[in-house]
Structure 1
Amino acid sequence: MAATDPDDSGDDLQQGLFSHLIELRSRLLKAIACVLVVLVALVPFANRLYSELAAPLVARLPQGAHLIATEVASPFVTPLKLAFYAALFISMPVVLYQLWAFVSPGLYRHEKRLARPLLVAALALFYCGCAFAYFLVLPAAFRFLTAVTPAGVEMMTDITHYLDFVMLMFFAFGLCFEVPVAVVILAAVGIVDIAKLRNARRYAIVGAFAVAALITPPDITSMIMLAIPMCLLYELGIVAVRWLLPKKAAD
């Protein structure tokens, strides 16, 4: 039996690594190209996009109040930033697909079976969290903030600060809506099981209200509007564990 040449194995390893790097570059370029194409398509509508984003606040401002721009370039740069965020938001399915196409060949069949629904669910839940924040939480929060504005103070928000605030809220609510995915991952790696998840309900409820109080604006309505969905999503995570990990759930 002929001995394996160490130089040949080293060359094979180097070639394999080089081919993976080439594929990674190709996947990244495709993802970036998708974001850029969507961005170019959205740039002409950047101002309209910002008007739609600002609608929850503008509709609740006192009569005569309006958004302001405190920096010279803000009226131009801020809508472009929003267009980029929107392009990234719209392109995320393609970006995640490119990531999946690069990673999936190295996964086992049972890992693929678990990863596919988790990836789709994570994306859908993040979108749901952003929509929940825009249509329900932000109007309630701005209604509270305009109501508690002291007499003699005129509420005029800077457009850049408003964009940063709303993007932070979208990101925070999107992450909070990932509770079922986090529960399934913890169960998949063996940190928790169905019994532990059920016994931890009271702690999950307390944690949900604590996170909601930390993330949302300082009004009780916004806090409750985030805490209750998080509790329901925790229960959904338990159901998902029973469905995606039947063996662990049985154990």
Structure 2
Amino acid sequence: MPLRAHLVELRHRLFLAVLGLLVGAVIGWFLYTPVFEALQQPVNDVAAERGELITLNFAGLATALDMQVKVAFFLGVLISSPWWIYQLWAFVTPGLTRKERGYAYAFVGAAVPLFLAGAALAWWALPNAVRLLIDFTPQGATNITDAQTYLSFVMRLVLAFGLAFLLPVLMVALNFAGLVSAGAWRRGWRWAILVAFVFAAVMTPTPDAITMIMVALPICGLYFVALGVCALHDRRVNKRRLAEGLPTLDGYLPDEATGETA
């Protein structure tokens, strides 16, 4: 596919993804009240434990409206995740065979729960993160947090975890598109583990190592599951290439791969 066609396809997929996001945001607008109460609950719990004034502050006349709009779009990203994840997949893998296209629905079906599982894991870690950060407030002092700053913190946490859990889907998509082989993913497994633990340490600001490990281990596990899927796909591709007399994905010639001498 030429570059111009790629750009046209990208514009088309982005338009469809944004359209789905807007529809999700409209739904999120009507869910604002219960969602904001859930967002505020960790702060209220810490305030009740410490017996101090710890609350969210709306600084400005239009802040409450701006907050509702941001929460609506935040919910729109979550609600429309099946749609925009499919658009991403459809753009990355336009050259698949008919048989391989059948896998698209399975991968999208896996990507959506993975994204939501990552978001749920971030939501599980949120109360501990809020408690730790507020604990730095000196005794007798008042912690009045800007509502929009707090919302930005929560959104970054949830979306970062959700996107991190999409890593295996991206790995498989790049492999099926012929851009990255399983061997390349296999050679980078040490870096993958290091990045997973660094990500967990940064995104879970709690003093205990248990929480960091519980966050990092699922990401590492998903990496190796995706690596296995990529290896199986490369094996099928190599068998087809050997039958056609072509070099394998690892660069071996047919006679080398079968143990024969030229």
- TM-score between both structures, scaled by the size of structure 1: 0.72
Q: Does 1:223 align with 2:212?
A: yes
Aligned to 1:12: none
**Among 84, 87, 93, which residue is 2:76 paired with?**
87
Percent identical residues: 35
The residue correspondences of 1:71-220 to structure 2 (distance < 5 A) are 71-97=60-86, 107-134=96-123, 136-188=124-176, 189=178, 191-193=180-182, 197=186, 200-217=188-205, 219-220=207-208
Instruction: Tell me the distance in 2 between the aligned counterparts of 1:150 and 1:201.
Output: 43
Whether the 8 Å CA contact 1:31–1:94 is kept in 2: the answer is yes
Instruction: Tell me the distance in 2 between the aligned counterparts of 1:113 and 1:99.
Output: 16
For residue 163 of structure 1, report the CA deviation from its aligned partner: 0.8
- TM-score between both structures, scaled by the size of structure 2: 0.69
SS at match of 2:80: helix
Instruction: Tell me the distance in 2 between the aligned counterparts of 1:137 and 1:49.
Output: 17
Aligned to 2:222: 233
Instruction: Tell me the distance in 2 between the aligned counterparts of 1:196 and 1:160.
Output: 39
SS at match of 2:54: coil
Q: CA RMSD of the aligned region, Å?
A: 3.8
| Structure 1 unpaired stretches of 5+ | 1-16
Instruction: Tell me the distance in 2 between the aligned counterparts of 1:106 and 1:196.
Output: 21
Question: More helix per residue: 1 or 2?
Answer: 1
Whether the 8 Å CA contact 1:39–1:83 is kept in 2: the answer is yes
SS at match of 1:157: strand
Structure 1 residues 243 and 217, CA gap change in structure 2 (3 angstroms)? same
Number of aligned residues: 232
Whether the 8 Å CA contact 2:89–2:173 is kept in 1: the answer is no
Whether the 8 Å CA contact 2:82–2:112 is kept in 1: the answer is yes
Instruction: Tell me the distance in 2 between the aligned counterparts of 1:43 and 1:148.
Output: 34
| Structure 2 unpaired stretches of 5+ | 240-249, 251-262
- Bigger Cα displacement from structure 2, 96-105 vs 145-154: 96-105
Deviations 1:153-206 (A, max 9, x none): 322221111111111111211121123223324544363435962x64443322
Structure 1 residues 127 and 243, CA gap change in structure 2 (3 angstroms)? farther
Instruction: Tell me the distance in 1 between the aligned counterparts of 2:69 and 2:79.
Output: 15
